Amino acid sequence: MGARSGPRLIATAGSDQKCALALEAGAAHAINYRREDFAARVREITGGQGVKVVYDSVGLDTFEGSLNSLAPFGLLVSFGNASGFAPPVPLGHLAAKGSLYVTRPTLFTHLATREATQAMADDLFARVLAGDIKIRAEQRYALNQIQQAHRDLEARSTVGSGVLLV
């Protein structure tokens, strides 16, 4: 989707397998943040400029690097905490790093009305049907493996989507 919609996407992930998946999905670059200082690599890729927006689903392990990847007036969208909650950020810290913006959206705010939910679902399914978004079910679990599925999710050892078979 990213390559077609204009922006050059730089992905970060915690494993080489997840980086490969990001590249396959259209990212221009993929950086394994467990092996490399991704903020420094983002600066290198952007000629020292940084990026306009970072979407961070990881939280604690990547939050500071995400801030350090931003260009002046950049926006950090912190929407997950897979590695733990992001730390509190003093407002002066955002000023010193280039007048940055940070937001923490929640799914339920976006799903507040049936109409908004339906519009988002319609958009998603239209993109899937058009081939812009590919849904990959990398893990399959039988119903009696539900505990293992939860352990795998909590351990962040899954890649892509998982399917529970009943």
Q: Is 76 left (phi over 0), alpha (psi -120 to 50) or beta?
A: beta
Per residue in 79-115, pLDDT tens?
999 899 999 999 999 999 999 999 999 999 999 999 9
Compute CA distances 129 → 119, 122, 124, 134, 135, whole Å. 15, 10, 9, 9, 11
DSSP state of 140: E
For residue 77, the number of C-alpha atoms closer than 13 Å in the C-beta half-sphere is 9
Per residue in 115-157, pLDDT tens?
999 999 999 999 999 998 888 888 899 999 999 999 998 888 8
Q: How confident is the model at residue 5 (pLDDT cuts 50, 70, 90)?
A: low
The CATH T-level fold of domain 2-104 is Rossmann fold (3.40.50)
Mean pLDDT within 13-28: 92
- Of the two residues 155 and 61, the one the predictor is more confident about is 61
The confidence score (pLDDT) of residue 2 equals: 43
Q: Please answer whether residues 132 and 6 qualify as being in contact, where contact means their C-beta atoms are separated by less than 8 angstroms.
A: no
Task: Give the residue extent of every domain in the chain.
Answer: 2-104, 107-133, 136-166
- With H, G, I as helix, E, B as strand and everything else as coil, classify residue 81: coil
